[in-house]
């Protein structure tokens, strides 16, 4: 059956866009969960589960994150933010401190006596 309008081309473009952009949306979801502070798996009576267990989950922002071994996969991981330290025993490396160069020029001289101030530099840990 031949297309008689431009509607078919619009549907084709939308279908291709959906197929190409969907992995980006899924990747963003899993990246978003990874940096949320708080206790998620830790709040469960049995914090970590073997294999795939759909009930081994915790509500998070209107959806669910998981605390089972299956969540920790390369393709679309959906582990809770604290899965790595709680279930794998791996403590995440803290981010490097934020360094403001020549802070004494930007701030009043009274701030140069702050803890962490040295030679015009003030370092602030990132949270």
- Report pTM: 0.51
> For the segment 65-91, what is each residue's pLDDT rounded down to a tens digit?
999 999 999 888 999 999 999 999 998
Q: H or E element: which one contains 57?
A: strand 57-60
* Residues of the chain predicted below pLDDT 50: 1, 6-7, 10-11, 13-15, 17-30
Contacts of 33 (CB under 8 A, 6+ apart): 60, 65, 78, 79, 80, 81
Q: How close are the terminal C-alpha atoms of the chain, in Å?
A: 59
């Amino acid at each position: 059956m031949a297309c008689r309008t431009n509607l078919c081309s619009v549907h084709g473009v939308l279908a291709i866009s959906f197929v190409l952009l969907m992995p980006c949306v899924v990747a963003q979801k899993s990246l978003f969960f990874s940096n949320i502070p708080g206790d998620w798996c830790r709040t469960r009576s049995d914090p970590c589960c073997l294999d795939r267990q759909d009930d081994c989950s915790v509500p998070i922002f209107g959806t669910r994150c998981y605390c089972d071994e299956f969540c920790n996969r390369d393709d679309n991981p959906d582990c809770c933010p604290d899965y790595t330290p709680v279930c794998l025993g791996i403590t995440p490396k803290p981010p490097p401190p934020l360094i403001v160069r020549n802070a004494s020029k930007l701030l009043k001289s009274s701030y140069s006596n702050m803890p962490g101030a040295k030679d015009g530099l003030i370092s602030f840990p990132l949270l």
